[in-house]
Structure 1
Amino acid sequence: MSTREICSLQFGHYSNFIGAHWWNLQEFSFSFTPDDYSEINNRVLYREGLTLKGQPTYTPRLILADLKGSLNTLAEHGELYDTSSCPKEDEIPWHSNRIEVKEDTKKLKNEFLQDLDSEASTSANKKYNFEENVKVWSDCLYTRFHPNTINVIKQYEHGNQDAGFDLFTQGKEMWKTEQFQDDFADKIRNFVEECDSLQGFHIILDGNNGFSGLANSCIEYLRDDYDRKSVLAIPVLPPYYNDYAYESDEEQHKSQIRDSVRVINSALSFTNLAEFSSLFVPLCTSKDGWRKPGLKREFNHVQYNDKLMYHTSAILASALDTVTLKYRLKEGHYSLSDLCVDLNLHNRKLAAASLCLPFSFNEGADLIECLDNWDGPLTQSITPRCTIGTDRMMQLITLRGIPEDRLKKPHDKAGAQKDMPAYRCKNINEMLNFYMSCTTFGTATNVTNISKGLTLKKPFPNFFDNKVGIRGNISAVLRKETEDVQSIPILAGLHSCNEISTTIESLHSEAKKLKVERFPQFASTGLERDEYKECLEKLLDFKECYEDSYLL
C-alpha cells in the first residue's frame, strides 16, 4: 500500500480550534491491535519521527500560525521535544551582581491537561468543565505536535481589539516580511521533502481577519513552488464574536465597524481563493455568515452553544474528518486531486458542505427502514447563505458508522422489506446511491462509507441529548447522565450546485454597500479603491460560473 501524503496548514485562532478537534478525532480512531482493524490510512496526514532521545513519535504533518498569547500553557516548540530549562546562576559566565532574574507568572494547565501529562485517568467517569475552562484551542488539545508545527506572530497579541490582526492586508504584509516567509516556507519544504508522493495541501484559514490575507499569500507561494499539487482551502467563519456583547452605543458602533471590516476581508479572501486554490469550501455553523452571522444551524439531538468556539469548532471538525475520508482510506485509489477535479467543473472552485450529526439511526433499525422513513434532506448545509438543492449537482457523500449487517433484514425475516425496490441493494454504498438517485435529479453522486463511526473521547464536547446512546444510535431508553457518547454514525457531503451562487451574491451584496475609502486602516496597509472595485467585479464574474446559462 503506497501512501500519498498531504501537508496541512492552519491560519488563525478559530482554524486552530477546528484543527485541535480534528487531530484529536483522528487520534481517537487510531488502531493499536490487529483485532481492531482501521480502514483509514493515518499516514496520509501523519508522519513518523524520533525525539532527541530516540523515542518514536507520530505527529501531524502540520504547520500552523497564531498570535502571541494564543497558546496559553502549550509550549511553542511542542512538548515531545522540549528540553529547555532555566540555567542556574553559577552556570552563567557573568558576575552575580550583573545578573537580574525575573520570573514570569506561571500559567496553570486545566485539570484535563494535567491528567493528560500525568497519564492519570481521563475515563468516562471523570467529568471536566470544558465549557468554562477552554479559553483557547490549546486548552482542548489531546494531540502532540512536531517542534516545527507552531508559528507565533509576536507583533500582534491575541484578544487585543484595539491593535488586532484584523485586516486582510495586514496578513499580506506579514507574509512579505523576510523572517516570516522564509521561516514558514522552509518548514513547508522540510515536511514536503519527507514525503514519498505528496498529494497536495489542506489549508484551514480564518476567512475574515488578518489570517485570511496571510493564508492567501501562502497559497500563492504554493502555486509558484508546487504548481502541480492540489490545494483544498477551508475558510472558516465563527458564528459569534466577542464584540457582539456590547453594553453601550459606542461599543455597538465599534462592533458594527468590525463587522464591516470582516465583510471586506471575506470578499478579498474569496476572490483570491477563487483564483489560486484548487477548491475551497467555506464553513460556518450559522446561516448567514457575513454581517451578524445570524441564526445557528440546528442539528437533531445536538444542544450546542453557538457562542463557544469549543462547541462550534467540534461540529465543523467532525464534518472535515468525514468528507476527507474518501482519499484517506487504505483501500481505493481516489485522491485529493480527483476530488478537486470532480467538484471544480467549469471553474466552479467553491463547493458547499453539509452535515448530519449524528446520523439519526434508531437502535435495532436497518438502513433500508431508516432511509424509507426519512423526512426532508439527509444533511444540513454548513456553508453560509447556501441551501443545498436536489437538482443538477456533483456531490461527494460519506457515511460512517453503519455496518453492513444493518443494511436490511435477512430474507427469511424481511417481511414487507422484500417488497421494497431498495431490498435488492447488496451493500451500504449501493443503497445510498439508490436513495440519492430517487431524491435528486440530474445529479452525479460519489458515495463512500466505512463501518466504524466517529470515535469520541474527552475533550470532545458532550453536547448530545440523552436520546443518543453510547454508540450513537437513537434509543427510547435514555442514556444516563454519567455516561458519555463514545461513537456516532455521521453523514457529510461536499456539493457543487447552482445554489452556491446565492453564497457569492450575498457576499457581493454586503461588500458592495461598503466604501473602502471610509476605512482608513485598509488604505494605510496598501488596499486601494480600484483594487477593491476589481475584487467586487471578480466576485460577480465568479458568480456567473454557477448559472445555467454559463454551461450552455
Structure 2
Amino acid sequence: MVGKEILTLQFGHYSNFVGTHWWNIQEQGFEYNSNIPSEINHDVLYREGLSPRGEVTFTPRLLLVDLKGSLKTLPEIGELYERLPHPSEVKVEWDENLVETRPGPSEVKNKFQADLEDPEKLQSVSKESYDFDKDARVWSDFLYTRFHPRTVNIVKEYQHCNENTPFDAFPLGASLWKTPQFEEDFSDKIRNYIEECDGFQGFHVLTDCTNAFGGLTSSCMEHLQDDYGRKSILVFPVIPSHFPDNEYQTEEEKLQSVIIDSVRMLNVALSFNEFTENSSLLVPLSVGSTGWRQPGLKREFRNVVYDFLGSITCEKQLCDFKLPDGKKVSIEPKLPYHSSAILATALETFSMKYRLKSSGFALADLSADLNQGGRKVAAASLCLPFPLKEGGDLLECLDKWEGPLFQSITPNCTIGNYRVMQHVALRGIAEERLKKPLNQAQKQRELPAYRCDSIEEMLTLFLSYTSEATASNVTVVQKPLDVRNPFPRIFNRNIAQNGCVSEFERADGIGVEKVPVLSGLHTGSEVGQMLENLHTEARKIKVARFHQFASEGIQKDDFEECLDNLFALRENYEDSYVI
C-alpha cells in the first residue's frame, strides 16, 4: 500500500478523551476477513511494528501528552511491548536497612480493563455489560486500543486536577515546550515516526485550547512549521461541554468562576490566533452550543440522548423523558465520556475522504479546498445516526426530510446553506438501499432523484437543491460506524441493532452495534460570525489583570495584535467572497 501516512498529536485530557474514542472506533471496525477487504487504508493512521518477542503489532501513529496522574492504571510505556515489574520484583542495590519504602496510592483496574487482559473474555468485551458512565473517570479507563511505547508522554511538572498548581494558562504551556527535556524528547519522537514513513503527508493535531495545552500545542506547531513546513497540519481545538467551576453555590464561588471563565477565554483567543498562523486548516469542536465563557446548551441529535444524571436506557426524545427517583436530564453535558464520543464520531467520518484505499485525495487537497481566500477556519457538522428507516431507502428518507441536514459541532456557529464550500461524508448505507426497484417505485419514479444511480450522486443532488451557490464534495463509505463497547449507550430504543430507525423498541440487553453517520466540514459566512463573536468576547478582557499571562510576557500590545489578527481573519468570510 502506498504511503499517505499521517502522524496524530493529542495534547490535553479532553483531547485524549476524544482521541481514545476515535482509536477505539477504528480498531473495533477492523476487518479480519480477507474475503471482505476494507475500504479504509488503515496504514494512513496506523503503523506496523514488531514487539521484542517478535510479534507483529499494529498501533496508532500517535503521540499524546497529558499531566501526571491522568493515566490511572495505564503504564506510561503501555502494555503491548513489555510488562512493568511489580515493586516486589525489583532488586535494589542499596542496603535495605537504610531504605524506607512508602507505597504510593494504588489504582485497581476496572472490569473492562481487567477483561481485556483475560484471553477468554477478550473476544466478548464488545457485548459485555459495563458501567462506563460511572467507571470512565479518565480516558484510559475505556481505552481498547494498545499503544506503542513512545506514544504516551506525561508532564511531570504538573498534576492532573491539582488546584494548587493548575496548568491553566497559555504561557505555561509555551514555557513548558521551551524546556530542553520536553522539546528535545518530543521532537525526536516526531522525527522517529516520520522517518518510518514512505509517503508522509502531514499531521492531525487534536488539542485542548481552554488551558495551558493551547500554549504547548502552539509552540509544537511552530516547530512543525519550521521543520516540516511543506506538510499539511489539520488542527482540531476541542472544548469540553462542562467545567466543574460553573456549578457554583455561593457568590464567592460565582466570582471565582467568572475569573476562571475569563482565563479560558484568553486561552482560546491566543490559541486560535497561533493555530491559524501555523496550520493548514483549523476546525474547532464542541457539543456545547456556546463554547467559550460557558459551554452553553448541548447540541441535540435526533434519536440520541446523551449524558444523564444516572445511567438509564434511552427510550424517547429528550423532552419526553421522565427519569426515576425525580432525577432530571442534564442540560449541560457533564460526562466527557459521552460528549467526546460524539466528537470522535465526526472525526472518524469526515476524515474518510483522504483515508480510503480508492481515493487519491490527500490532506493537502482538503485544506486547499476549504482554506481558499485565507479562510483557514472551518466548521464541522454531524448527523448521528443518519435516520434511515428499516426497510426504507435513501430517496424516501431525503424526500421526507424536514429541517437542517446537519447539526453543528463547532461552538457559536451554525451550518449555512448559502455560498458555502463543504466536504460531506456519508457512511453505512448500502447501494441497494438507494431507491425502490422500478416495479415497486410508484410515485418515486416521478422524482428527479430517481434517475440517480449511486448514493454519492443522490446526496450531491440533494445538497444542490438545499444549498444555494454552494460547492459540495461528497464521499460515500459502505461500512457503518462501529458503536459496540466501549462506545457509550446513547441511542434511543427505537434504533435497531443495525442502526436503522425501527417502529419497535429493542429488547432489553440488545445494544446498537453499527450506525449510519453523516458528517461534514464547511466554510461560509457563519464561520466569520463565530470569529467575530470570539473577537468581541475576548476584547472585553483586560489581560494585564491576569498575572498568569502578564508575568510570562504577554502584554497588552501582544493581546491587541492577537485580536487584530482574529478580526482580519473574520473579514475573509464576508458574503462578497466568491467560491
What is the TM-score when the length of structure 2 is the normalising length?
0.93
Tell me, yes or no, if the aligned pair for 2:126 and 2:486 is still in contact at 8 Å.
no
Question: Is the counterpart of residue 526 in structure 1 residue 528 in structure 2?
Answer: no
In structure 1, how many angstroms separate the alpha carbons of the residues matched to 2:435 and 2:483? Answer: 27
Which stretch shifts more, 124-133 or 535-544?
124-133
Tell me, yes or no, if the aligned pair for 1:206 and 1:235 is still in contact at 8 Å.
yes
Specify the code of the residue in structure 2 equivalent to 1:80: L
The superposition leaves residues 45-102 of structure 1 with CA deviations (integer Å, 9 ceiling, x where unpaired) of 0001111111111100000000011101110011112333257689433333223333
Question: Is the counterpart of residue 314 in structure 1 residue 341 in structure 2?
Answer: yes
Specify the code of the residue in structure 2 equivalent to 1:203: V
2:274 to 258, 272, 275: 272
Q: Partner of 2:220 in structure 1? A: 218
In structure 1, how many angstroms separate the alpha carbons of the residues matched to 2:87 and 2:35? Answer: 48
The superposition leaves residues 488-519 of structure 1 with CA deviations (integer Å, 9 ceiling, x where unpaired) of 00000000111111110111111011001111
Query: Does the residue aligned with 1:231 lie in a helix, a strand or coil?
Result: strand
Question: Is the counterpart of residue 110 in structure 1 residue 110 in structure 2?
Answer: yes
Question: Is the counterpart of residue 138 in structure 1 residue 140 in structure 2?
Answer: yes
The superposition leaves residues 166-210 of structure 1 with CA deviations (integer Å, 9 ceiling, x where unpaired) of 011111111111100000000000000000000100000001110
What 5-or-longer segments of structure 1 have no aligned partner?
none
Tell me, yes or no, if the aligned pair for 1:124 and 1:483 is still in contact at 8 Å.
no
Which stretch shifts more, 79-88 or 498-507?
79-88
Question: Is the counterpart of residue 25 in structure 1 residue 44 in structure 2?
Answer: no
1:323 to 318, 328, 350: 350
> 1:124: Cα distance to partner?
5.7
Q: Partner of 2:57 in structure 1? A: 57
The superposition leaves residues 388-413 of structure 1 with CA deviations (integer Å, 9 ceiling, x where unpaired) of 11111110000000000000111122
Specify the code of the residue in structure 2 equivalent to 1:485: V
Q: Partner of 1:443 in structure 2? A: 470
From the superposition, tell whether residues 483 and 90 of structure 1 become closer, same or farther in structure 2 (CA, over 3 Å).
Answer: closer
In structure 2, how many angstroms separate the alpha carbons of the residues matched to 1:264 and 1:470? Answer: 44
In structure 1, how many angstroms separate the alpha carbons of the residues matched to 2:541 and 2:91? Answer: 60
| RMSD of equivalent CA atoms | 1.4
1:390 to 414, 417, 427: 417
Query: Does the residue aligned with 1:58 lie in a helix, a strand or coil?
Result: strand
In structure 1, how many angstroms separate the alpha carbons of the residues matched to 2:137 and 2:510? Answer: 25
Query: Does the residue aligned with 2:8 lie in a helix, a strand or coil?
Result: strand
> 1:332: Cα distance to partner?
1.6
The superposition leaves residues 239-278 of structure 1 with CA deviations (integer Å, 9 ceiling, x where unpaired) of 1111122222222211111100000110001111121100
In structure 2, how many angstroms separate the alpha carbons of the residues matched to 1:31 and 1:66? Answer: 31
From the superposition, tell whether residues 443 and 190 of structure 1 become closer, same or farther in structure 2 (CA, over 3 Å).
Answer: same
In structure 1, how many angstroms separate the alpha carbons of the residues matched to 2:125 and 2:139? Answer: 21
Tell me, yes or no, if the aligned pair for 1:346 and 1:551 is still in contact at 8 Å.
no
Tell me, yes or no, if the aligned pair for 1:12 and 1:206 is still in contact at 8 Å.
yes
In structure 2, how many angstroms separate the alpha carbons of the residues matched to 1:409 and 1:521? Answer: 63
Query: Does the residue aligned with 1:27 lie in a helix, a strand or coil?
Result: helix
> 1:454: Cα distance to partner?
0.1
In structure 2, how many angstroms separate the alpha carbons of the residues matched to 1:100 and 1:500? Answer: 60
Q: Partner of 2:297 in structure 1? A: 295
From the superposition, tell whether residues 425 and 53 of structure 1 become closer, same or farther in structure 2 (CA, over 3 Å).
Answer: same
Specify the code of the residue in structure 1 equivalent to 2:534: L
Tell me, yes or no, if the aligned pair for 1:393 and 1:496 is still in contact at 8 Å.
yes
Question: Is the counterpart of residue 469 in structure 1 residue 496 in structure 2?
Answer: yes
Q: Partner of 2:404 in structure 1? A: 377
Specify the code of the residue in structure 2 equivalent to 1:149: T
The superposition leaves residues 434-482 of structure 1 with CA deviations (integer Å, 9 ceiling, x where unpaired) of 1111111111100001111001121100011101100000000111231
In structure 2, how many angstroms separate the alpha carbons of the residues matched to 1:150 and 1:237? Answer: 21
Question: Is the counterpart of residue 494 in structure 1 residue 496 in structure 2?
Answer: no
Query: Does the residue aligned with 2:525 lie in a helix, a strand or coil?
Result: coil
Question: Is the counterpart of residue 236 in structure 1 residue 263 in structure 2?
Answer: no
From the superposition, tell whether residues 96 and 266 of structure 1 become closer, same or farther in structure 2 (CA, over 3 Å).
Answer: closer
In structure 1, how many angstroms separate the alpha carbons of the residues matched to 2:148 and 2:356? Answer: 24
Question: Is the counterpart of residue 84 in structure 1 residue 81 in structure 2?
Answer: no
The superposition leaves residues 523-549 of structure 1 with CA deviations (integer Å, 9 ceiling, x where unpaired) of 112211110111111111111010134
Question: Is the counterpart of residue 456 in structure 1 residue 483 in structure 2?
Answer: yes
2:367 to 332, 335, 340: 340
Q: Partner of 1:158 in structure 2? A: 160
**Percent identity among equivalent residues?**
52
In structure 2, how many angstroms separate the alpha carbons of the residues matched to 1:418 and 1:41? Answer: 37
From the superposition, tell whether residues 124 and 482 of structure 1 become closer, same or farther in structure 2 (CA, over 3 Å).
Answer: farther
Which stretch shifts more, 408-417 or 54-63?
408-417
Q: Partner of 2:435 in structure 1? A: 408
> 1:286: Cα distance to partner?
1.1
Tell me, yes or no, if the aligned pair for 2:494 and 2:504 is still in contact at 8 Å.
yes
Query: Does the residue aligned with 1:63 lie in a helix, a strand or coil?
Result: strand
Tell me, yes or no, if the aligned pair for 1:11 and 1:206 is still in contact at 8 Å.
yes
From the superposition, tell whether residues 380 and 408 of structure 1 become closer, same or farther in structure 2 (CA, over 3 Å).
Answer: same
In structure 2, how many angstroms separate the alpha carbons of the residues matched to 1:248 and 1:162? Answer: 21
Tell me, yes or no, if the aligned pair for 1:125 and 1:482 is still in contact at 8 Å.
no
Question: Is the counterpart of residue 479 in structure 1 residue 481 in structure 2?
Answer: no
How many residue pairs are counted as aligned between the two chains? 552
Tell me, yes or no, if the aligned pair for 2:171 and 2:548 is still in contact at 8 Å.
no
Specify the code of the residue in structure 2 equivalent to 1:296: K
Tell me, yes or no, if the aligned pair for 1:76 and 1:147 is still in contact at 8 Å.
yes
Q: Aligned runs of 1:530-545 on 2, under 5 Å?
A: 530-545=557-572
Query: Does the residue aligned with 1:548 lie in a helix, a strand or coil?
Result: coil
In structure 2, how many angstroms separate the alpha carbons of the residues matched to 1:173 and 1:303? Answer: 41
1:183 to 167, 185, 210: 185
Specify the code of the residue in structure 1 equivalent to 2:462: Y
> 1:37: Cα distance to partner?
2.6
From the superposition, tell whether residues 81 and 123 of structure 1 become closer, same or farther in structure 2 (CA, over 3 Å).
Answer: closer
Tell me, yes or no, if the aligned pair for 2:430 and 2:478 is still in contact at 8 Å.
yes
Specify the code of the residue in structure 2 equivalent to 1:60: P
In structure 1, how many angstroms separate the alpha carbons of the residues matched to 2:221 and 2:468? Answer: 36
From the superposition, tell whether residues 173 and 415 of structure 1 become closer, same or farther in structure 2 (CA, over 3 Å).
Answer: same
Specify the code of the residue in structure 2 equivalent to 1:24: N
From the superposition, tell whether residues 159 and 91 of structure 1 become closer, same or farther in structure 2 (CA, over 3 Å).
Answer: closer
Query: Does the residue aligned with 1:57 lie in a helix, a strand or coil?
Result: strand
From the superposition, tell whether residues 266 and 126 of structure 1 become closer, same or farther in structure 2 (CA, over 3 Å).
Answer: same
The superposition leaves residues 90-126 of structure 1 with CA deviations (integer Å, 9 ceiling, x where unpaired) of 9433333223333223210111111111131544653
In structure 2, how many angstroms separate the alpha carbons of the residues matched to 1:209 and 1:90? Answer: 38
Query: Does the residue aligned with 1:144 lie in a helix, a strand or coil?
Result: coil
From the superposition, tell whether residues 265 and 124 of structure 1 become closer, same or farther in structure 2 (CA, over 3 Å).
Answer: closer
Specify the code of the residue in structure 1 equivalent to 2:219: S
Question: Is the counterpart of residue 548 in structure 1 residue 575 in structure 2?
Answer: yes
Tell me, yes or no, if the aligned pair for 2:116 and 2:125 is still in contact at 8 Å.
no
From the superposition, tell whether residues 87 and 74 of structure 1 become closer, same or farther in structure 2 (CA, over 3 Å).
Answer: closer
